[in-house]
C-alpha cells in the first residue's frame, strides 16, 4: 500500500493532511520564512538556504525574497535562474526550470489541483501535475502557470498571462487563457 507522499509524487489522489506531508510543508515554511526575513545584503546566506530548500539548483541562482512554496524538494532549477519578488511555487509535483530563466514579480506556478466532480473534491483529496519550463524563458510579472503545463525553450509569457496549455518553443503568449500572440525569430 502506498503512503500519501508516494501517491502525491505519483500524481494520484492523496490526503494533504497526512502527518508526514504536514511536517514537510511546515519544515519548508520555516526555511522560506527565515529566507524572507534575512537582510537582502546577505545574498550568500539567502542562496545557501535556497540550496537547502530546493531539490536541485544550478549556478548563478538569484531570488528576490519574499518567496513561497509547498515542499521545496520538488523544485529543480538549472543555471542562471532569476526570480523577482513574491514568487509562489506550489510544488506538490515536480517543477523543472531550465537554464537562463527569468521570472517577473508575483509569478505563480501551481502543480496542485483538485477533482472536478464535487463529491470527490469534497473529500479533501487532491492531486498534482508536473510543470516543466525550458531554457531561455522569460515569464512576465503576475503570470500564472497552471498544473501540467510544459513551456518550450525561448518562450516569453506575457505579464498577467494565465497559462493553461503547453507553450511551444519560440513564441510569445499572453492573455487569459494564454494564447500565442506571435512567433519569435530566435
Q: How confident is the model at residue 55, as a pLDDT?
A: 96
In 117-134, which positions are buried (b, 16+ CB within 10 angstroms) versus exposed (e)? eeeeeeeebbbbbbbbbb
* Strands of the 162-163 sheet, one edge to the other: 67-69, 87-90, 108-110, 144-145, 162-163
Owner of C-alpha cell 532569476: 82
Task: State the Cα–Cα distance between residues 105 and 85, nearest whole angstrom.
Answer: 5
Domain extent, residue 97, equals: 4-183
Global pTM value: 0.94
Helix residue ranges per DSSP H, the chain? 4-9, 19-37, 43-53, 118-121
Q: What confidence tens digit (pLDDT) does each residue in 116-138 have?
A: 999 999 999 999 999 999 999 99
Q: What confidence tens digit (pLDDT) does each residue in 58-79 have?
A: 999 999 999 999 999 999 999 9
Task: State the Cα–Cα distance between residues 50 and 74, nearest whole angstrom.
Answer: 13
Q: Which member of 114, 129, 154, 179 is catalytic?
A: 114
CATH number at residue 136: 2.160.10.10
Indicate if 26 belongs to the active site. Answer: no
* Lowest-pLDDT choice from 70-79, 84-93, 116-125, 156-165: 116-125
Q: What is the sign, positive or negative, of the torsion defined by CA atoms of 2, 3, 6, 7?
A: positive
Q: How confident is the model at residue 176, as a pLDDT?
A: 97
Inform me whether the pLDDT recorded for 107 exceeds 90: yes
Task: State the Cα–Cα distance between residues 80 and 88, nearest whole angstrom.
Answer: 18
Q: What confidence tens digit (pLDDT) does each residue in 10-26 have?
A: 999 999 999 999 999 99
Domain count, the chain: 1
Amino acid at each position: 500500500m502506498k503512503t500519501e507522499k508516494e501517491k502525491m509524487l505519483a500524481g494520484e489522489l492523496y490526503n494533504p493532511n497526512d502527518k508526514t506531508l504536514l511536517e514537510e510543508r511546515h519544515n519548508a515554511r520555516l526555511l522560506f520564512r527565515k529566507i524572507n526575513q534575512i537582510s537582502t545584503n546577505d545574498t550568500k546566506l539567502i542562496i545557501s538556504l535556497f540550496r537547502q530548500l530546493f531539490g536541485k539548483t544550478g549556478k548563478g541562482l538569484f531570488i528576490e525574497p519574499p518567496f513561497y512554496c509547498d515542499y521545496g524538494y520538488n523544485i529543480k532549477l538549472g543555471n542562471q535562474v532569476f526570480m523577482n519578488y513574491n514568487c509562489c511555487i506550489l510544488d506538490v509535483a515536480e517543477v523543472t526550470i531550465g537554464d537562463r530563466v527569468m521570472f517577473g514579480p508575483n509569478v505563480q506556478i501551481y502543480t496542485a489541483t483538485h477533482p472536478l466532480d464535487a463529491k470527490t473534491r469534497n473529500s479533501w483529496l487532491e492531486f498534482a501535475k508536473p510543470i516543466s519550463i525550458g531554457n531561455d524563458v522569460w515569464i512576465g510579472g503576475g503570470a500564472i502557470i497552471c498544473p501540467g503545463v510544459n513551456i518550450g525553450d525561448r518562450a516569453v509569457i506575457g505579464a498577467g498571462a494565465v497559462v493553461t496549455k503547453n507553450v511551444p518553443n519560440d513564441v510569445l503568449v499572453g492573455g487569459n487563457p494564454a494564447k500565442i500572440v506571435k512567433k519569435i525569430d530566435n
